[in-house]
Amino acid sequence: MSRMGDVLAGFHAAWEFGTDSVLIRYERGIRTPKLFQALGERRVPLAAFAGVTLSPGKRGTVVLRAEPRPGADPLMEAAAGQLKDAHDPYRLVLPAERESLAERYADGLRSRIDDAGPADRHLVAAPEAPLAFKAYDGKASFDGTTVRFRWFWTGASTAKWKAGDQSFAVTELGGVEWRSPDGLDGHLRLLPRDGTPTTVPADQDPAAVTFGLGYGPVHESLPFAAAVLSAVRGRSTAVPATAVPRRDPADIAERIRHLGELHQAGLVTDEEFSSKKAELLAEL
């Protein structure tokens, strides 16, 4: 293995090798993928590696890639194989003339891998809360113990408006489902603790927010999903929130106005309108 403190610098990132881990530092330049900039740096224990490869890259480069063990990294677990190569935080792209040097480091890492099987717990730290991002139909926020969805009247479906803003303690959840915004059905869905499957489309599911052009980008929604997933895995130490902050009166008034429009359009019944209006007024 290389000496402690050795650094292998590539495009957009540098790997610093320690006795029991690799510290990956990402650049913050304008050409660096935004996901890398959001991550900043990550310390990956050697116990989290399942394998290491070195292969030819594009335009005179080589690619050193570490394969994390299944279940060792909440970010990669949430991504579920959907990340493009350019967004893969375990790829280090190097000039081709450094191939021999990269091979030496790769051999050193391979010699330290003892277990390539699934990890029984997360070994790599998730992004820290609080975190928030704007989806197409609402704003998602996470304070470390509770996920909240606040719907946008310009994007949320009638079903979500009827359900109202949502709050989920991590103790109630069993996992997350992240679908990349690069796809046609991008969304973040919170999965119930009992594992009950759902066939409800994400745009109709109050436990999901949907992505769109410029909404829920990878560098915002994936770290968010990873943080929630990590908290769910460690839910034995999570404490549900007990205090709900008071809402902005102007926001409540706007929501009641939009609810009235839905009522006039016949999309909300008299009973639903009265009930939801009372709920909103109670938040003042």
Q: What is the pTM of this model?
A: 0.82
SS3 content of the chain, % helix, strand, coil (to 5): 35, 30, 40
Angle (deg, nearest 10), helices 249-264 and 270-282: 180
Dihedral of CA atoms 202, 206, 207, 208 in degrees, nearest 10, equals 40
Reported for 146-152, long-range contacts at CB under 8 A and 24+ positions apart, including other chains, are 146/170, 146/240, 146/241, 147/173, 147/190, 147/228, 149/206, 149/209
* pLDDT reported for residue 237: 40
When pLDDT is cut at 50, 70 and 90, the band that residue 265 belongs to is low
Provide the percentage of residues in the chain whose pLDDT is more than 90.
72
Please indicate whether residue 13 or residue 184 has the higher confidence score (pLDDT).
13
Q: What angle do CA 234, 69, 9 make, to 5 degrees?
A: 105
- Secondary structure class of 48 (helix, strand, coil): helix
d(CA 284, CA 282): 6
Please indicate whether residue 259 or residue 194 has the higher confidence score (pLDDT).
194
The candidate with the shortest Cα–Cα distance to 12, out of 98, 89, 102, is 89
When pLDDT is cut at 50, 70 and 90, the band that residue 195 belongs to is confident
Backbone angles phi, psi at 14, to 5 degrees: -140, 140
Q: Are 55 and 62 in contact (CB under 8 A)?
A: yes
Backbone angles phi, psi at 220, to 5 degrees: -105, -45
- Residue partners of 143: CB distance under 8 A and separation at least 6: 129, 130, 241
- Tens digits of per-residue pLDDT, 210-244? 999 899 999 999 999 999 999 999 864 433 433 34
Calculate the average pLDDT of the chain.
89
- Residue partners of 258: CB distance under 8 A and separation at least 6: 153, 161
d(CA 69, CA 271): 52
d(CA 93, CA 91): 6
Residue by residue, DSSP assigns 81-136 as: T---GGG-TTEEEEEGGGHHHHHHHHHHHHTT----S--SS--SPPPPSPEEEE-S
Please name the amino acid found at residue 264: Q
- Tens digits of per-residue pLDDT, 112-136? 999 999 999 999 999 999 999 999 9
